Amino acid sequence: MKTRKFAAAAALAVAATALSACGSSDSGDANGTITLKFQSLAFQQPTVAASKKIVADWNAAHPKVQVQYIQGSWDSVHDQLVTQFQGGSAPDIIHDESADIAGFAKQGFLADLTPQISSQVKSSIPDGVWQTVSGDGKIYAGPTLLQSYVVFVNTDLLQQAGVALPGGPTLSWDAFQTMAKQLTKPKQYGLGWGLKSPTATVLNLGLNFDGKFFYTEGDKTTVKVDAGEQEVPRRIHDMIYTDKSIDPTSVTQSGGDVLPGFYAGKYAMTVQGSYAAQQIVADAKPSFHWAVLPILAGTSAHQAANPQTLSVSAQSKHVTEAAQFVDFFLSADNLAAVAQGDWLIPTSSAAQAAVAAKTGGKDGWTATLATGAQLTEAPFQQVDNYPKWKDQVATPTLQQYFANKIDLATLGTKLTDGWNQVGG
């Protein structure tokens, strides 16, 4: 009787292992249909919906080439790609951003998309943006959406303080700092800024003062922190400790986590990626009135263009078809739909026009789209070892600086020395 139980258990084991084996076989190419895996990192509901619609439209028009939508996450995409490329299991179509994907391109993991990019798409996207996704004469990614940092303001609190809503194409840093001071009173800060991940922000906005951080001579790249690079960190530091117009707690939080305080009126302004507008629209109460300020400017209003990208894995069995899907994704209407969902700026001018038409410029769209013209290539995107320097040197050092643990001079030395240590 017990032996029967034993046999039953053994059968169960075999069944269990069989169960786990089946259902995990590769969704392969059955009966001549090609299946492509498209891993998308979109997380805001409207964007996910728009992306899925693009996939559905493609699938309807291409019965022999089916695309499968897979959900990924921004937080883990880099580690994932490292292991996936090593293990040969990367998706056919990869969603990432140009600063992150550059390293993989150099390692030879990405296919060249040049033959499949249509001329309409090519001419509609500015050269400066194409440069962020090209190298060695190849285009290794299709640039889709651009993001800029914008300032959101609570217009009710603005009125209360008697400060006028700034007009004009840009807002100077000096004026911005003054506004923040004017909007600070007991129990209310002028600005809440989520700087838990400060590196992207500082490097991006550094271009406002022509601070490039990375300088390449020949094949040697160094990090320099001169006057231009120091402007943005110094001004932020001043706002926190001298002006006391930035909520110090917000500085240790991530951008998204700062929003509840913004809705609650704890700070009158907040600097966020433009995509935050989507959350504000969804989560804030209807009685909450807000606007987008003109783009920040120092000596210029440039910010780094770090477009989201769609690449094709070089290990994919159907590179041509996958690249065709990328081109399809980049067409004006499709790109416009995704951009609208994410409150991001589409790279192509045709798509930008489509978004302007569909939204009528409401909800800060006019100001947001205007920032698109200011986005240009920045050196840090093409540099090897940037992710490591960012994780191990730049982020902790900037965090320490904003926590007032080190001074500006030390910040500079640590950033430059850290680059040498990381092997840059």
Partner 1 sequence: MTAGARRRRLVRLPQYGALVLYMLFLAFPLLWMLSTSLKSSSELVSVTPSLLPSSPKWSNYSTVLREQGLTRSAWNSLRVSLASTVLVILVGLPAAYALARFRSRLRTAALGWILVSQVFPLILVVIPLFLLLKQLHLFNTLPGLVAVYLVWSLPFALWMLQGYVASVPVELEEAAAIDGAGRLRTLSNVVLPLLLPGLVATAMFTFISAWNEFFFALVLIQSPERATLSLTLARFLGAEGQVQLGPLAAGSLLATVPSLVFFAFLQRRLTSGLLAGAVKG
Partner 2 sequence: MLPALLPILLFSAIPLVRGLTLAFTDSRAGFNVPTHFVGVDNFSRLLDNTLFWSSFRIGLIWAFSVTALQFVLGLGLALLLNQPLRLRWLARTLSLVPWAMPPVIVAIMWRIMLDPSVGPISTTLQRLGLTDSPTNWLGDFSTALPAVIVVGVWAGMPQTTITLLAGLQAVPESLHEAAALDGAGSWQRFRHVTWPALRTVVAAITSLDFIWNFNSFGLVYVLTAGGPGGKTMLPMLFAYNEAFRYGEFGYAAAMGDVMVVLIVALLLFYLRSRLRSAT
- Nearest approach, Cβ of residue 35 and partner 1 (Å): 12
Length of the chain equals 424
165 contacts partner 2 (rule: CB under 8 A): no
Q: How far is the CB of 276 from partner 2 (least distance, A)?
A: 15
Burial of residue 127 (number of CB atoms within 10 Å: 0-12, 13-18, 19+): exposed
- Report helix, strand and coil shares of the chain as percent, to nearest 5: 50, 20, 30
Tell me if 122 contacts partner 2 by CB under 8 A: no
Task: Compute the C-alpha angle 375/363/264, nearest 5°.
Answer: 105
Task: Check binding of 380 to partner 2 (CB under 8 A).
Answer: no
Using CA atoms, how far apart are residues 281 and 358, in angstroms rounded to an integer?
17
By the rule CB under 8 A, 405 interacts with partner 2: yes
Q: Closer CB to partner 1, residue 10 or residue 227? A: 10
Please report whether residue 16 would count as binding partner 1 according to CB under 8 A: yes
The single residue among 196, 224, 244, 318 that binds partner 2, judged by CB under 8 A, is 196
Q: Which is nearer to partner 2, 128 or 260 (CB)?
A: 260
- Is residue 85 within the footprint of partner 2 (CB under 8 A)? yes
**138, 356, 387, 416: residue in contact with partner 2 (rule CB under 8 A):** 387
CA 374 to CA 61: how far, in whole Å?
36
User: Phi then psi for 23, rounded to 5 degrees?
Assistant: 90, -10
Question: How many angstroms separate the CA atoms of 253 and 187, rounded?
Answer: 19
Instruction: Name the one residue in this structure whose structure tokens are 């991006």.
Output: 204
424 is an interface residue for partner 2 by CB under 8 A: no
- Is the Cβ of residue 81 or residue 383 nearer to partner 1 in the bound state? 81
Q: Which residues, including other chains, have CB under 8 Å from residue 46's CB and lie 6 or more apart?
A: 278, 340, 341, 342
- From the list 55-63, 155-163, 273-281, 412-420, the region that binds partner 1 by CB under 8 A is 273-281
CA distance 39 to 11: 37
Q: Which of 25, 38, 48 is nearest to 70 (CA)?
A: 38
Q: Say which entry of partner 2, partner 1, none residue 247 contacts (CB below 5 to 8 A, set by partner kind).
A: partner 2
- Main-chain dihedrals φ then ψ at residue 29, nearest 5 degrees: -100, 80
* Binding track over 254-293 against partner 2, x by CB under 8 A: ---xx-xx--x-----------------------------
Contacts of residue 101, defined as CB under 8 A and 6 or more positions apart, other chains included, come to: 94, 110, 133, 140, 141, 309, 311
- Pairing between β-strand 308-312 and β-strand 34-40 as defined by DSSP bridges: unpaired
* C-alpha to C-alpha distance for 225 and 407, rounded to whole angstroms: 13
Which residues from 202-261 bind partner 2, rule CB under 8 A? 247-249, 252-253, 257-258, 260-261
229/247 with CB nearer partner 2: 247
Closer residue to partner 2 (CB): 139 or 394:
394
- Work out what residue 258 binds among partner 2, partner 1, none; the CB cut-off runs from 5 to 8 Å by kind: partner 2
Instruction: Determine which residue in the list 7, 19, 227, 403 makes contact with partner 2, applying CB under 8 A.
Output: 403
Q: Does 24 bind partner 1 (CB under 8 A)?
A: yes
Binding of residue 70 to partner 1 (CB under 8 A): yes
Q: 24, exposed or middle or buried, with CB in 10 Å at 0-12, 13-18, 19+? A: exposed
Nearer to partner 2, 276 or 336 (CB): 276
The candidate with the shortest Cα–Cα distance to 235, out of 408, 390, 380, is 408
For partner 2, which is the closer residue by CB, 69 or 263?
A: 263
Residues forming contacts to partner 2 in the complex (CB under 8 A) are 78-79, 82-83, 85-86, 107-109, 196, 247-249, 252-253, 257-258, 260-261, 264, 314, 387-388, 391-392, 395-397, 399-400, 403, 405
Residues forming contacts to partner 1 in the complex (CB under 8 A) are 1-3, 6, 9-10, 12-13, 16-17, 19-21, 24, 39, 43-44, 70-76, 80, 83-84, 86-89, 197, 254-256, 259-261, 263-264, 266, 273, 275, 279, 282-285
